[in-house]
Amino acid sequence: MTTVLICDDRRSVREGLTRVMSAVPGVSRIDCVAHGDELLARYTRQPVDVVLVGTQRAVPTGVEATRRLVSANPQANVIVFGAPDDAGSIAAAIAGGARGYLRWDASRPELVAALAHTLASTSVPAPRQPSDPGVQLTERELQVLRGMSQGKSNGQIGRELYLSEDTVKTHARRLFRKLGVRDRAQAVAHGFRRGLVS
């Protein structure tokens, strides 16, 4: 049976995620806290199997809570959750020690898979590893990935690189395929892990 601790400063998010998690098979207990200080104190007093930490664009609390918890408890299994287009927060949280991430709209099967993989291994299987671990991105693909890591839109990246937005999208699709990922957030997280962006 799996114990879960949810950390998010929005009550509606905590309540909504609790409802979803309570329907996940194998979850025996769900507790909630609102802030990083509470998270650290609660986990130290009563460790849990999985910690879910919410992230918000341009709000560092979730990322900071993750860093503090993992720094004090390296064994903590943290999954961050947030908007799929908020690559910056997700990547920063993963760089701070989170094992993986979930989208706000993750389905129940995705939640089950994330919990199972977090408990069974060192990371959530997202982003997936490319089939060829030696895959190389072109310089243009790296430039697009770096732009994504800075939270820039395809249009902004295109203007900086003197490319059309459609061309940026084409480069993005190619680098997604090479890295074996589904979206911008996964690509940036993977880029941080592999040292492609910093």
Evaluate the CA torsion angle 158, 171, 89, 194 in order and state its sign: negative
Whether residues 56 and 144 share a domain: the answer is: no
**Range list of H helices, the chain:** 11-22, 36-45, 61-72, 87-95, 108-120, 139-149, 154-161, 165-179, 184-194
| Domain limits for position 28 | 1-118
* CATH number of the domain that residue 171 is part of: 1.10.10.10
Q: Answer yes or no: is pLDDT of 41 > 90.
A: yes
Domain count of the chain? Answer: 2
Each residue's pLDDT tens digit, 8-35: 998 998 998 888 888 777 788 999 999 9
Whether residues 108 and 21 share a domain: the answer is: yes
Query: Which pLDDT band holds residue 82 (cuts at 50, 70, 90)?
Result: confident
For residue 135, what pLDDT is reported? 66
Whether residues 143 and 83 share a domain: the answer is: no
- Looking at the chain, the whole-number percentage of residues with pLDDT higher than 90 is 21
Residue 35 lies in a domain: yes
* CATH number of the domain that residue 108 is part of: 3.40.50.2300
